[in-house]
Amino acid sequence: MDKMILTRMEYYGYHGVFEEERRLGQRFYVDLELEMDLATAGQTDDLSTTINYAEIHEKVKQIVEKQSFKLIETLAECIASSLLDAYTGVHALTVRVTKPHPPFDIHFQGVTVELRRTRK
């Protein structure tokens, strides 16, 4: 299966277990791998035969920046279900959500959750 991959889309959202995270907000990165047939788009050079990735970016932005979840697992699930609902040509997808600066008193570059969902 072909894939459309969007990497390190950056958003500012209000997600976290701690009240301060949901009040002040922080940066999040989202990566997507959309499994779909890209043959027609590749052969015709016609945007209407594929998915406009600028549109995907905007849909994800609305979820990350306009909603609030305690867990990034829930954020990832919301992104996955929203995209599967909106794009019937997507057979499966992988969503990675990274919180690059979690509020812990330890040092690491961030925490990422990854989930894969398929059309039922």
**pLDDT of 109 strictly over 90:** no
The structure tokens listed for 78 are: 């919301």
The structure tokens listed for 45 are: 């050079």
**pLDDT of 9 strictly over 80:** yes
Question: Which of 61, 66, 70, 99 is flagged as catalytic?
Answer: 99
What DSSP string runs through 54-74? HHHHHHHHHHHHH---S-HHH
How far is 99 from 69, CA to CA, in rounded Å? 13
For residue 11, the model assigns a pLDDT of 98
Domain annotation for the chain: domains and CATH numbers: 2-118 (3.30.1130.10)
**pLDDT of 106 strictly over 90:** no
Mind listing the pLDDT tens digit for each residue in 43-99? 999 999 999 999 999 999 999 999 999 999 999 999 999 999 999 999 999 999 999
pTM of this structure:
0.94
Is pLDDT larger for residue 39 or for residue 19? 39
Q: Is 61 a catalytic residue?
A: no
How far is 113 from 55, CA to CA, in rounded Å? 23
**pLDDT of 107 strictly over 80:** no
